[in-house]
Amino acid sequence: MITFVIGGNKSGKSDFAMGLLEREPGLKLFLATGQAKDMSFRKQIARHRDRRDPALPVVEVGWDLPRALLEAKKDHAAVLVDSLDFWLYLCMQEQREADLIQALLDILQGWSGPELILVSCEIGFAPLPGSSEARTFLKRLGRLNQAVAALAHEAYLVVAGLPLALKKAEHGDPKTD
């Protein structure tokens, strides 16, 4: 089953997603996409690390998320990806977003592996930024989030630490039974 968790910055989305992961039985894996390129982000990563179970394996995947998901699928009962917005940014830096997004969506379309929890940032509530690069990123992230939400069995919006179910798996759905 695929669960999509979306929320704004500091909304509690990562903590909520981690709670979902921790409830899953079996071997778990955390796939991190963010790369600490400045001190502020290094501190944020350290805070997230301090809240995680130290026994939880973490793989920093960068832009190669599709390959990492195929590898993780082999040995794990549950996988958490945090986050698609950082992943998209890296894909855009590599100028490979079109093929990498398609590869990810193809994998999600046929997902029959472990419980998969995907986290992304909802930035559509913010004012439209002035720079064309930022607007391009917003548009592409919005499209990616919509595509992932459509493929997910469950989706949650997290605001102020409170999850709101946007989409729940239907009982009897062959994808979730």
Give pLDDT tens digits for 122-166. 988 878 888 999 999 999 999 999 999 999 999 999 999 999 999
Question: Residue 92: which CATH number?
Answer: 3.40.50.300
Residue 174 covered by a domain:
no
Is the Cβ–Cβ distance between 58 and 32 less than 8 Å?
A: yes
Query: Does some domain include residue 175?
Result: no
Looking from the CA of 118 toward its CB, the CA atoms found within 13 Å total: 31
Q: Which helix (H) or strand (E) holds 87?
A: helix 84-93
Distances, alpha carbon 35 to alpha carbons 39, 69, 86, 88, in Å: 11, 18, 8, 12
Q: What is the DSSP letter of 24?
A: S
CB 77 within 8 A of CB 24: yes
Examine residue 103 and state whether it is found in any structural domain, yes or no.
yes
Residue carrying structure tokens 């989305």: 13
Query: Angle at Cα 113 formed by Cα 4 and Cα 13, nearest 5°?
Result: 20
Total tally of structural domains belonging to the chain? 1
Q: What is the pLDDT of residue 113?
A: 87
5 vs 118: CA distance, rounded Å: 6
Mean per-residue pLDDT pooled into runs of 10, the chain (177 residues): 96 96 97 73 61 83 96 96 96 95 98 97 86 94 98 98 95 53
- Asked if residue 52 belongs to a domain, the reply is yes
176 in a domain, yes or no? no
For residue 53, give its domain range: 2-167
DSSP H or E segment with residue 65: helix 65-75
Is residue 172 one of the residues assigned to a domain?
no
In a domain, 154, yes or no: yes
| pLDDT given at position 177 | 46
Q: Give the burial class of 84: count Cβ atoms within 10 A of its Cβ; 0-12 exposed, 13-18 middle, 19 or more buried.
A: buried
